[in-house]
């Protein structure tokens, strides 16, 4: 059994979007657009971009280099679930998101079949065998050899082929990610190629770009990796903030609403964040307001309140960007109005 630290917002995105984190882009440059070989920057980057993205089930298997093939069975926080498609992930996400803690567990029932980053399939018979694959994936990520899944090429694109004299010999229309990967790994030492630009790509944040050269492709990949790095950092911060919230009560240290200092209204109250995503405000005698809270992350970190029962605390019903936080202090700013600021302190 392996213990997983649950990240609700990122896990949701991991089902339908881009996730694997790599921090390196190949630096070996070709002489010109027509001299790309199997060892060139363009070939290496296209191969990594075209690798199979196994990140959709990371919250179950903990590895972006492979994906579990359906159907499979796993125990999620003690509940046995049969996964028949990605739609089955929703129930697992619901179970894992019930409580704000780091005690979530997922136990995969072996044997299982994995689809690997090179599109091959492997049968794994035990957790020990699987752990070896996870370690290999981590090494590939650290060495800049794993999939770059924070950028998607929009197919079809055309590859122009050349001989050793740099005379064009033909062209190949690439219609899918898998076809691109297979093409790049099968280039011989005597073959040369170039990408017929422009091509379009989509980044992890959903934005699109039109690229006109190998240099622009490399720059776009670097930008995509930077976005992904920010997303990963925000996800880690999310987990840390969730733990801080439930370990103690908070007081309003400062509340500025469009220039008006309303801090004194809240001096006698404390705010308590519960493990079940419930929140309440109290004074010495009674509970004043109750509601829910949520922590989410993309490239930034956000804290959302939903108070009911108090006009004063309904002013906190906002999506707050987390500007900074420590074990004792959380500084917030309204996502939609930077003039609205809130500081909570233990």
The CATH number covering residue 269 comes to 2.40.128.270
Q: Is the pLDDT of residue 163 over 60?
A: yes
Tell whether 104 and 172 lie within a shared domain.
Answer: yes
Q: Is the pLDDT of residue 6 over 60?
A: no
The whole-number pLDDT of residue 16 equals 39
Whether 157 maps to a domain, the answer reads yes
The whole-number pLDDT of residue 332 equals 99
Tell whether 213 and 259 lie within a shared domain.
Answer: no
Q: Is the pLDDT of residue 279 over 70?
A: yes
The whole-number pLDDT of residue 164 equals 86
Count of all residues that appear for the chain in the document: 346
Tell whether 29 and 90 lie within a shared domain.
Answer: yes
Over residues 101-110, mean pLDDT? 90
- 123: number of Cβ within 10 Å: 11
Whether 40 maps to a domain, the answer reads yes
Q: Identify the domain boundary among 180, 213, 238.
A: 238
Whether 243 maps to a domain, the answer reads no
Tell whether 62 and 203 lie within a shared domain.
Answer: yes
Q: By percentage, how much of the chain surpasses pLDDT 70?
A: 90
Tell whether 222 and 143 lie within a shared domain.
Answer: yes
Q: Is the pLDDT of residue 12 over 50?
A: no
Q: What angle do CA 222, 227, 232 make, to 5 degrees?
A: 120
Q: Any idea which of 22-31, 225-234, 285-294 has the lowest mean pLDDT?
A: 22-31
Q: Is the pLDDT of residue 119 over 90?
A: yes
Rounded (10°) CA dihedral 234, 236, 237, 241: 140
More confident residue, 258 or 123: 123
Whether 49 maps to a domain, the answer reads yes
Q: 159-165: long-range contacts at Cβ-Cβ below 8 A with a sequence spacing of 24 or more?
A: 159/183, 159/193, 159/194, 159/195, 159/196, 160/34, 160/193, 160/194, 160/195, 160/196, 161/191, 161/192, 161/193, 162/34, 162/35, 162/191, 162/192, 162/193, 162/194, 163/190, 163/191, 163/192, 164/190, 164/192
The whole-number pLDDT of residue 17 equals 42
Over residues 255-277, mean pLDDT? 96
Tell whether 102 and 182 lie within a shared domain.
Answer: yes
Name residues whose C-beta falls within 8 Å of residue 81's C-beta, 6 or more positions apart in sequence: 73, 74, 75, 88, 91, 92, 95
Over residues 97-120, mean pLDDT? 93
Q: Is the pLDDT of residue 214 over 60?
A: yes
More confident residue, 30 or 216: 216
- 62: number of Cβ within 10 Å: 17
Residue 250, beta-bridge partner list: 271
pLDDT tens-digit profile of 52-76?
999 999 999 999 999 999 999 999 9
Whether 311 maps to a domain, the answer reads yes
The whole-number pLDDT of residue 7 equals 38
Whether 18 maps to a domain, the answer reads yes
The whole-number pLDDT of residue 34 equals 55
Tell whether 159 and 72 lie within a shared domain.
Answer: yes
Q: Is the pLDDT of residue 27 over 70?
A: no
| Structure token pair of residue 219 | 């720059």
The whole-number pLDDT of residue 35 equals 76
Question: What is the arrangement of strands in the sheet containing 105-108, beginning at the earlier edge strand?
Answer: 2-3, 105-108, 72-76, 79-83
Over residues 100-124, mean pLDDT? 94
Q: Is the pLDDT of residue 302 over 90?
A: yes
The whole-number pLDDT of residue 144 equals 83
Whether 225 maps to a domain, the answer reads yes
Rounded Cα distance between 185 and 224, Å, is 23
Q: Is the pLDDT of residue 30 over 50?
A: no
Q: Any idea which of 108-112, 167-171, 315-319 has the lowest mean pLDDT?
A: 167-171
Whole domain around residue 330: which residue ranges?
A: 248-345
Winning range, highest mean pLDDT, from 22-31, 172-181, 197-206: 172-181
Tell whether 207 and 252 lie within a shared domain.
Answer: no
Reported as a pLDDT band with limits 50, 70 and 90, residue 336 is very high
Tell whether 21 and 163 lie within a shared domain.
Answer: yes
Tell whether 265 and 227 lie within a shared domain.
Answer: no
Q: Is the pLDDT of residue 22 over 60?
A: no
Tell whether 259 and 121 lie within a shared domain.
Answer: no
Q: How many domains does the chain have?
A: 2
Q: What is the 3-state secondary structure (H, E, C) of the chain?
A: CEECCCCHHHHHHHHHCCCCCCCCCCCCCCCCCCCECCCCHHHHHHHHHHCCCCHHHHHHHCCCCEEECCCEEEEECCEEEEECCHHHHHHHHHHHCCCCCCCCEEEECCCEEEEECCCCEEEECCHHHHHHHHHHHHHHHHCCCCCCCCEEECCCEEEEEECCCCCEEEEEEECCHHHHHHHHHCCCCCCEEEECCCEEEEECCCCEEEECCHHHHHHHHHHHHHHHHHHHHHHHHHHHHHHHHHCCEEEEEEEEECCEECHHHHCCCEEEECCCCEEEEECCCCEEEEEEEEEEECCCEEEEEEEECCHHHHCCCCEEEEEEECCCEEEEEECCCCCEEEEEEC
Q: Identify the domain boundary among 186, 218, 238.
A: 238
Tell whether 257 and 234 lie within a shared domain.
Answer: no
| pTM, rounded to two decimals | 0.81
Over residues 34-49, mean pLDDT? 90
């Amino acid at each position: 059994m392996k213990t997983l630290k649950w990240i609700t917002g990122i896990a949701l995105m991991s089902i339908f979007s881009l996730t694997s984190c790599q921090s390196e882009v190949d630096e070996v440059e070709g002489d010109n657009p027509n001299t790309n070989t199997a060892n060139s920057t363009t070939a290496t980057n296209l191969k990594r971009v075209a690798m199979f993205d196994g990140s959709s089930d990371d919250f179950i298997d903990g590895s972006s280099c492979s994906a579990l093939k359906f159907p499979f069975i796993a125990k999620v926080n003690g509940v046995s679930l049969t996964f028949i498609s990605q739609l089955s992930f929703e129930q697992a996400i619901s179970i894992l998101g019930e409580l704000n803690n780091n005690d979530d567990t997922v136990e995969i029932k072996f044997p299982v079949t994995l689809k690997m980053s090179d599109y091959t399939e492997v049968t794994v018979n035990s957790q020990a065998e699987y752990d070896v694959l996870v370690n290999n994936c981590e090494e590939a990520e650290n060495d800049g050899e794993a999939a770059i899944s924070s950028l998607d090429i929009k197919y079809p694109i055309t590859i122009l082929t050349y001989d050793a004299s740099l005379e064009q010999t033909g062209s190949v229309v690439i219609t899918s990610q898998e076809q691109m990967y297979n093409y790049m790994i099968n280039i011989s030492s005597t073959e040369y190629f170039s990408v017929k630009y422009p091509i379009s790509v989509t980044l992890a944040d959903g934005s699109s770009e039109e690229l006109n050269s190998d240099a622009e492709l490399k720059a776009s990949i670097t930008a995509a990796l930077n976005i992904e790095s920010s997303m990963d950092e925000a996800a880690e911060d999310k987990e840390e903030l969730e733990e801080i919230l439930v370990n103690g009560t908070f007081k309003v240290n400062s509340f500025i609403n469009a220039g008006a200092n309303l801090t004194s209204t809240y001096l006698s109250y404390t705010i308590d964040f519960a493990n079940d995503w419930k929140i309440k405000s109290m004074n010495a005698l009674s509970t004043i307001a109750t509601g829910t809270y949520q922590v989410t992350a993309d490239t930034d970190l956000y804290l959302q309140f939903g108070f009911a029962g108090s006009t004063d605390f309904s002013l906190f019903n906002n999506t707050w960007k987390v500007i900074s936080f420590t074990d004792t202090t959380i500084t917030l700013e309204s996502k939609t109005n930077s003039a609205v600021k809130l500081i909570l302190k233990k």
